[in-house]
Amino acid sequence: MDITDRHKIEEEYKALNQQLQASEQQLQAANQQLQASDQQLRAANQQLRANEHALIAAKEESERNEKYYHTIINNMGDPVFVKDDQSRLLLVNDAFCNIFNLERDKIIGKTLSEDVAPEEQEGFFKN
């Protein structure tokens, strides 16, 4: 091996070493980006957990409120019903179901004309 070959090898070694150092710097930068993304994801995950707990608490409160109003409505002796703008029943109490001898789940979403005889409808609306 002569001196020219040795210089060539040294130059190739230096070039490869520079490429290796550049790759190492790129990897370090990518690693820093990954760490920043990981921190952001952890913070977002923590926020999602907090939101989930808040939603669960709100759902439980809503269920308690719904149970409360159902208890009040169903303990009323008079028939109670709520209709939408197309006269479909949205809510009925126990007294309503008993008067018409209908099951709640079979009349919700329907109109009185679908399941109640006309003479019963007339009598109900006169009272």
pTM for the full predicted model = 0.53
pLDDT over 90 (residue 100)? no
Mean residue pLDDT across the chain:
90
Least confident of 24-38, 47-61, 105-119: 105-119
Delimit the domains of the chain by residue range: 1-75, 77-127
Whether pLDDT at 93 is above 90: yes
pLDDT at 111: 87
Q: What is the pLDDT of residue 126?
A: 54
pLDDT above 80 for 115: no
Q: What is the pLDDT of residue 57?
A: 97
Closest of 85, 65, 84, 83 to residue 124, by C-alpha: 83
Q: Identify the CATH class of 77-127.
A: alpha beta
The CA-atom distances, in angstroms, between 74 and each of 4, 62, 69, 89 are: 102, 18, 8, 16
